Structure 1
Amino acid sequence: MIVLETERLYLRELVLEDVDALSLVLSDPESMKYYPDPYNREKVKSWIQRNIDNYRTYNHGLWAVVLKDGDIFIGDCGITMQNIDNEVLPEIGFHIIKDYWNKGYATEAANACKEYAFNVINYPAVYSYTSIHNIPSWAVAKKIGMQTYKEYERNGVKIIVHVAYNSNL
């Protein structure tokens, strides 16, 4: 099921058959260097199942990111409920397969998710959080209009949080 479209992409619900494609990013050590470990196949399947469950619970989650040109799966992006400094907040996250980095796809998908959060779900704000060292991720947050919200430490890692507010409310 297609959830939303941009000029070059469409985002659809993940399905368990996406495990091999999603493993290209979630099992890649370079792509996952800000996570404790890259994911094995079983963790990728659990990741997908958790998002399928989130679709039912929240009407959103991480969605498959697919290039319209060629119908190519390039990663995931979406809105998940995350514990950010002891508050459960809607967060925009993404993971793009390395071969598709630096082409604007993460920014395009994340911006579409921000608009979805504001115009469809009516969230008053959306957040993005990552290690202070994950400059590409917080650069995407800035590109989609997010501002630095706060920094805190979690498990010995300095975390930076960005926020965008819904101007429609």
Structure 2
Amino acid sequence: MKKLETERLYLRELVMEDKDALYNILSDPETMQYYPQTFDEVKVKRWIQWNMDNYQKYNHGLWAVILKNNDEFIGECGITMQEIENEIVPEIGFHIQKNYWNKGYATEAAIACRDYAFNTLNYSKIFSYTTLRNIPSQKIAKKLGMQTYKIFEKNDENQIAQIVFNTKQDKNRSK
């Protein structure tokens, strides 16, 4: 079932049958270089189950990113609830298969997720966070209109949290 659709992609809920395709991404050291560790098969299964639970609890999670032209699974992108210094906030995250990097897919999927967060879920703000070393993800956050919110420590490393506000809601507040 398609959850979101863009010009080149559609996003759908992850299912256990995605395990092998997702494992190829999350077990790759280069793809996961800014993450605390790569994932083994057990952790990938838990990851998918966590997202399936999030769909029930929040009506969102990370979704499979699929190329429209050939139905190829190229990654995951979506909205999860994350803790940033004792505050639980909606956060856009993604992992894209490395042979699809620098083609705009992560940005395209993340923009669709940002718009879904604002227009369907009615969040007033959405975040992204990553290590200070992860410049590519920070550039995508800027393309989403995000600005630096704060620097904090998590997993023994400095992280940067970025934020964008729902300008439609801000305009409605000023009326």
TM over 0.5: yes
| Residue aligning to 1:35 | 35
For the residue of structure 2 that corresponds to 1:161, the secondary structure is strand
**Sequence identity, in percent?**
63
| Residue aligning to 1:104 | 104
How many residue pairs match? The answer is 169
Please tell me whether Structure 1 or Structure 2 has the larger radius of gyration of its CA atoms: 2
For 1:43 and 1:9, locate their aligned partners in 2 and report how far apart those are by CA, in whole Å: 26
For 2:24 and 2:97, locate their aligned partners in 1 and report how far apart those are by CA, in whole Å: 6
| Residue aligning to 2:129 | 129
For the residue of structure 1 that corresponds to 2:168, the secondary structure is coil
For 1:95, the aligned partner's letter is H
| Residue aligning to 1:144 | 144
Shift of residue 37 of structure 1? 1.4
For 1:143, the aligned partner's letter is K
For 1:13 and 1:153, locate their aligned partners in 2 and report how far apart those are by CA, in whole Å: 31
Structure 1 outlier segments of 4+, above 2 Å: none
For 2:148 and 2:31, locate their aligned partners in 1 and report how far apart those are by CA, in whole Å: 23
TM-score (norm 2): 0.95
Q: Which runs of 5+ in 1 are unaligned?
A: none
For 1:157, the aligned partner's letter is E
Q: Which runs of 5+ in 2 are unaligned?
A: 170-175
For the residue of structure 1 that corresponds to 2:167, the secondary structure is coil
TM-score (norm 1): 0.98
| Residue aligning to 1:14 | 14
